[in-house]
Structure 1
Amino acid sequence: MDRRELAAFLRSRRERITPADVGLPAGPRRRTPGLRREEVATLAYISTEYYTRLEQARAPRPSREVLAGITRALRLSDAERDHLHHLAGEPPGPAPGPSREVRQSILDLLNRLPQTAAFVTSAAYEVIAWNDLAAALMEDFSAVPRRERNLVRRVFLGSRPLAQRLYGVSNADSFARTAARRLRATAARYPDDPEVAALVAELLAGSAEFVQLWASHDVSAEHTLVKAFQHPVVGPITLNCDVLEIPDRDQQMVLYTAAPGSPSEEALRLLAVIGTQRMDVTL
């Protein structure tokens, strides 16, 4: 265990993250660059005293569970996670939870699709990247907390009409079945991830529909090829839906496109001009 290098690495990663990145309020008197130590400790489910000692190079070797918590709290990339483990003298194992890091090439691709509403979801159905047209069509994801960007939480625990309007759930029942099946498979791949476990527990406690679907133990997802939106500004839009797998990150890119020459194509063109400035959705 290289305590000094570990301490320096933790400080550098903590200071680069803003409170907004993890769904925390910035507050008017924040002077610490990035997150505070106690905030990292809370997000990692460890004591503030122990995390402070890690950054001061005074702590004993952290366990794999502690390292997994710190990885999630600091939003480390796969390479950074492995580096953290090596510094702690603990060889890295499989990824502890769904990756939220989107490859730069994927981010570039999103921005190179001006006539396509495109976004990326994690294995837990969290929207983690999107282009401008997706924000105009669905919702300005940057304006809502990270927790509210989870599609499966919205469809089971939110208002169905709202979920349909925001996320293009033309067949809410079909989307719910697919979401429950994919989430069961995700929970099996990441059995030790507390966020996935907490999401499943929340859905089981709050949705009788999810309880019924979860009890079926189905894992084969259905595929919806057409999505219908009722947009508050441009009206109804019917779009083709294609889903591309990003296997190395266990993520999906969702692409919404309109048939050439259709009224929906004209609506998408209008949305590309309007952007999110005239969105009047009330959450």
Structure 2
Amino acid sequence: MDRRELAAFLRSRRERIAPADVGLPAGPRRRTPGLRREEAANLAFISTEYYTRLEQARAPRPSREVLAGLARALRLSDAERAHLHHLAGAPPGPAPGPSREVRQSILDLLERLPQAAAIVTSAAFEVLAWNDLAAALMEDFSAVPRRDRNLVRRAFLGPRPDGRRLYGVSDVAEFARSAARDLRATTARYPDDPELAGLVAELLAGSVEFARLWASHDVAAEPVLCKTFQHPLVGPITVNCDVLEISGRDQRVVIYTAVPGSPSEQALRLLSVVGTQRMDVAR
């Protein structure tokens, strides 16, 4: 355990987090940049005294539970989490849950696909990133709460704008079956992730269909290579669906493209111009 480096690392990560980032008021008397020690300790579910001793390089080696709390409280990336564990003399084990950190190169890739709708999803089916055309085709993900960006939750529990289930895709039944199978495999990879366990519990309680699929214990899923979106503004859009695995992240890039010269390609081009505007609302 490198106490001095661990102390400096914790202090640097704490000072970079604005109070507003974690729902705390800044307050007129705040002298320290970022969070106060007691705030970081509360977020990590440890005592302020112990956290202070960690930053003073006087504390004993933290347990894996404490390290997990610190990583969560300080919003560490995957690389930072691994570094924290190494400084504490406890090499990191498997990730506690699906990664939500998207590499910058992948974000750049999405923007370089102007004629394709593309999203990045986590192993738990949360939409983590998207380009403008995906927002126009599906929805403006930036305008909805994080929980509503989860595609498996949307498929089984809604909400269903305009009465459409999962953006009106033609393969929603096939997606539901595939998602339930994939999610079971994901829970086996991340058995200690409380958020993932909560998602499964919510789906079991709220959807008879999901409960039936979950009870089958199937884990293999057949990909659907073509689907049709029933878009409320431009009508049906048939697209090819290609999925690329992101190595080392347990994430996927999902790319929707239309056949060149088809009416669906024309509809996508129209959406790229319209964006997320509502053409049926007077301005």
Return the TM-score normalized by structure 2.
0.85
For the pair 1:211 / 2:211, whether they are aligned, the reply is: yes
2: CA distance, partners of 1:55 / 1:280: 57
Query: Aligned partner of 1:68: which letter?
Result: A
Is the 1:124–1:186 Cα contact (8 Å) retained in structure 2? yes
2: CA distance, partners of 1:280 / 1:43: 45
Return the TM-score normalized by structure 1.
0.85
Q: Name which of structure 1's ranges 74-83 and 267-276 shifts more when overlaid on structure 2.
A: 74-83
Q: CA deviation at 1:94?
A: 2.0
Is the 1:170–1:228 Cα contact (8 Å) retained in structure 2? yes
Equivalence for 1:269: 269
Equivalence for 1:114: 114
Q: CA deviation at 1:171?
A: 2.4
| Structure 1 residues 40-55: aligned runs within 5 Å | 44=44, 46-47=45-46, 49=48, 52-53=51-52, 54-55=54-55
For the pair 1:255 / 2:255, whether they are aligned, the reply is: yes
Q: CA deviation at 1:222?
A: 2.5
Structure 1 residues 212 and 17 mapped into 2: Cα distance closer, same or farther (>3 Å)? Answer: farther
Q: CA deviation at 1:43?
A: 5.6
Q: Count the aligned residue pairs.
A: 278
CA deviations over 1:11-42 (Å, ceiling 9, x no partner): 43344456787xx6576859686567677556
Equivalence for 1:144: 144
Q: Which runs of 5+ in 2 are unaligned?
A: none
Q: Secondary structure at the match of 1:82?
A: helix
Structure 1 residues 38 and 268 mapped into 2: Cα distance closer, same or farther (>3 Å)? Answer: farther
Is the 2:155–2:166 Cα contact (8 Å) retained in structure 1? no
Query: Aligned partner of 2:95: which letter?
Result: A
Q: Name which of structure 1's ranges 97-106 and 2-11 shifts more when overlaid on structure 2.
A: 2-11
Q: Secondary structure at the match of 1:92?
A: coil
Equivalence for 2:97: 97
| Structure 1 residues 1-283: aligned runs within 5 Å | 1-17=1-17, 25=23, 44=44, 46-47=45-46, 49=48, 52-53=51-52, 54-55=54-55, 57=57, 59-159=59-159, 164=164, 167-278=167-278
Structure 1 residues 35 and 144 mapped into 2: Cα distance closer, same or farther (>3 Å)? Answer: farther
2: CA distance, partners of 1:42 / 1:234: 50
Q: Secondary structure at the match of 2:69?
A: helix
Structure 1 residues 56 and 157 mapped into 2: Cα distance closer, same or farther (>3 Å)? Answer: farther
CA deviations over 1:208-231 (Å, ceiling 9, x no partner): 221111111000112112222222
1: CA distance, partners of 2:153 / 2:84: 31
Identity across the alignment (%): 78
CA deviations over 1:227-254 (Å, ceiling 9, x no partner): 2222232222111111111131111110
Structure 1 residues 75 and 172 mapped into 2: Cα distance closer, same or farther (>3 Å)? Answer: same
Query: Aligned partner of 1:262: which letter?
Result: S
Structure 1 residues 204 and 146 mapped into 2: Cα distance closer, same or farther (>3 Å)? Answer: same
